[in-house]
Amino acid sequence: MLRTLTIIPVHGLPEVRPGDDLAGLIIDACEESCRLEQHDVLVVSQKVVSKAEGRLVEVDPDDPQSHKPLVVEESARIIRRRGDLIISETKHGFVCASAGIDRSNVEPNIAALLPDDSDRSARRLRDAIAGRCAVRVGIIVADTFGRPWRRGLTDVAIGSAGLLPVLDLRGTDDAGGRELQVTEVCIVDELAGAAELVRGKATGVAVAVIRGVDPAWFGEGNVVDEIVRHPSEDLFR
Amino acid sequence: MLRTLTIIPVHGLPEVRPGDDLAGLIIDACEESCRLEQHDVLVVSQKVVSKAEGRLVEVDPDDPQSHKPLVVEESARIIRRRGDLIISETKHGFVCASAGIDRSNVEPNIAALLPDDSDRSARRLRDAIAGRCAVRVGIIVADTFGRPWRRGLTDVAIGSAGLLPVLDLRGTDDAGGRELQVTEVCIVDELAGAAELVRGKATGVAVAVIRGVDPAWFGEGNVVDEIVRHPSEDLFR
């Protein structure tokens, strides 16, 4: 039986600084709004994870291109360049613009890098919340990426914990009893995008709670091993 | 102020056949579950739109590759091939596998093609619902596409009506008062993916209602003109 999902923006998270206890700040903010429940999924923006983990670098506030040397440093491989645009493969294997480095929602002299290991960041949040609130939740660390053939950006998962990143429907029958052709749904990316709809970019709402997720979607898995496509499978790199 | 979104699966849609009044069937099914409200967004699977519009072709039920000649016919350009996999640009400009043709949730001797013009399909549904229910809704026609660098599939919009496909945040300030770098969010794709989470593939729930969408996101626009990236802008074709 399919369920209704609710996507709740979490207000009241303070400005996050390096070394902050992010799990504690999120738990406190959720207390005010929706109080965490068993099988909630929390979608947390990459930006606050990077801030808490101190993944911040000083740049020239007067030069909008002053973070570009960092893009090359944070990349394993440059894939395409056009003007100021650099599409590269990051050390984690993500293919995205500017190696995921950006300068919005940080001080003018700061650029935020991606977390070293967003799956680990997600696991730590999951474990801290399980320990303090005694609820089993899923965590997604989300960032905003472009797509090669479609305009506009969408949020995707760059890290996850407690969730099956891909729902494998192979061997499942369609409504007519025939085996499905579309078989592997990337639920963590769909959840990340859904959360973006209530988080917004301009408002500084860094966390959303998704309630009503099927308990069968909880389990072990992570984004880098299960979602990032290996270059050997790739037709477009 | 950001709102809570609710994503509601619509049960009870009967098997759709060529020539059926799809808007009427959807309205009836919604009456049973959630009764349409002003500013609801309805996400409708490509499959039922294709069925209602008779975009069905006979194929050999015993040969799983018998629809392959149709893939070439429905493509403007083949982009990559590997084994049975064909990635092409469809006549509409979508870059996807098998020109969007698939054989799940149809009879074994049938393959479903994409609608001729899914934006038009969406406009017709929007207009019919406005006429009969006196509510202004947004419509998204959704299909399941792969991504070049990420495993698993997600639902995206192949047609829309009544919604701004891209939310343009250029000129908007971030929470710190600086201009945002990430500026154009493809909300129709995020809405399509969110709806997939409650629709599922195996269950035959072809429609979901998303309630709580910001009224400012309603407006004129369509997917083919605003989301499909023109080959001249493309770095990966």
Averaged confidence pLDDT in chain A:
92
Averaged confidence pLDDT in chain B:
92
Phi and psi dihedrals of B214, rounded to 5? Answer: -60, 125
Annotated domain spans of chain B: 6-53+115-228, 56-114
Q: What is the pLDDT of residues B185-219, one digit of tens each?
A: 999 999 999 999 998 776 779 999 999 999 999 99
Neighboring chain A residues of B100 at a CB cutoff of 8 Å: none
Nearest Cα neighbor of A112 from A102, A122, A127, A120 is: A102
Query: pLDDT class for A180, splitting at 50, 70, 90?
Result: low
Model pTM score: 0.95
The residue of chain B with its CA nearest to that of A100 is: B182
Q: Do B180 and A201 touch (CB under 8 A)?
A: yes
Residue A2 above 80 pLDDT? no
A200 contacts B123 by C-beta, under 8 angstroms? no
Residue A236 has a pLDDT of 86
Q: Which CATH architecture has domain A56-113?
A: Alpha-Beta Complex (3.90)
Q: Report the top-level CATH class of B6-53+115-228.
A: alpha beta
A152 to chain B, any CB pair closer than 8 A? The answer is yes
Residue B173 has a pLDDT of 72
Q: Report the top-level CATH class of B56-114.
A: alpha beta
Pairing of strands A138-145, A41-45: parallel
ipTM of the complex: 0.95
Task: Determine the Cα–Cα distance for residues B65 and A67; give it in Å rounded to an integer.
Answer: 49
Name the CATH superfamily, with its identifier, for domain A6-54+115-229: CofE-like (3.30.1330.100)
Q: Tell me whether the CATH fold assigned to B6-53+115-228 matches the one assigned to B56-114.
A: no
Residue A1 has a pLDDT of 53
B225 to chain A, any CB pair closer than 8 A? The answer is no
Nearest Cα neighbor of B65 from B79, B45, B83 is: B83
Q: What is the pLDDT of residues A8-59, one digit of tens each?
A: 999 999 999 999 999 999 999 999 878 999 999 999 999 999 999 999 999 9
Residue B180 has a pLDDT of 62
Distance from CA of B60 to the nearest CA of A (A): 15
